[in-house]
Structure 1
């Protein structure tokens, strides 16, 4: 678990990190270089989940061997399906990272929502509800490998 008491933001006790796949962890279905190493490091402290519609059908192969739980969403609308999954874990114990419009509900209701902008860009709807906007997935994951960054970004 990652636990922080952030002045002006509140106490975070993150047990689950929920990640979108396409556009967040992957570009054109392929895992972004360096992300696997960061996931392995994070999985020592928190449970890592990957949510995806798996549009390109590569998620399970690309994440093979990594300590993640993969959940293929099939419900429509996708934003509600992702939020349902986060709610099943307990929103107050989840940090979520995504880039798309279909990530906006999980970003809004999680204890911590992080929108990332990468090569696929980022939905403005996701950015508006996120607590943090990161330049890319490596920077977003780095907030958890170096939690003091969360403190310096979120404190009031």
Structure 2
């Protein structure tokens, strides 16, 4: 768990890190270079979850060696399905990272929402509800490997 008491923001007790796959962790279905090591490091402190519609069918293969829980979305609209998953974990103990419009609900409702602007860019609607914007996924995940960065970004 990652715990911080951030002046002007409040107390964070993050047990679950929920990540979008395509556009966030992956480009064109392929896990971005260097993320495997970072995810393994994060999994020592939080449970890592990956949510995806797996449009390109590569998520499970790409993440097979990593300590993550993969949830393939089907049925509901993607934004609602992602929020439903986060609700089952407990929004108050989840940090969520995504880039797309289908990430809006989980970014808004989680204890901490982070939008990234990567190679697939980002949804401005989702950016408006996120607590933090990051230039790429490595910088976003770095907020959790070096939690004092969260403090300096979010405090009043």
Question: Shorter-normalised TM-score: what interval?
Answer: over 0.9
Q: CA deviation at 1:12?
A: 0.0
1:15 maps onto 2:15 in alignment: yes
| Corresponding residue of 1:26 | 26
Distance 1:57 1:140 in 2: 25
| Corresponding residue of 1:92 | 92
| Corresponding residue of 1:69 | 69
Q: CA deviation at 1:120?
A: 0.4
1:118 maps onto 2:130 in alignment: no
Aligned residue pair count: 156
RMSD, matched Cα: 0.4
Please report the TM-score for the alignment, with normalisation by the length of structure 2: 0.99
Q: Secondary structure at the match of 1:49?
A: strand
Q: Secondary structure at the match of 1:22?
A: coil
Please report the TM-score for the alignment, with normalisation by the length of structure 1: 0.99
Distance 2:85 2:5 in 1: 26
Distance 2:75 2:153 in 1: 34
Q: CA deviation at 1:76?
A: 2.6
Q: Secondary structure at the match of 2:44?
A: coil
Q: CA deviation at 1:77?
A: 1.1
Q: Secondary structure at the match of 2:70?
A: strand
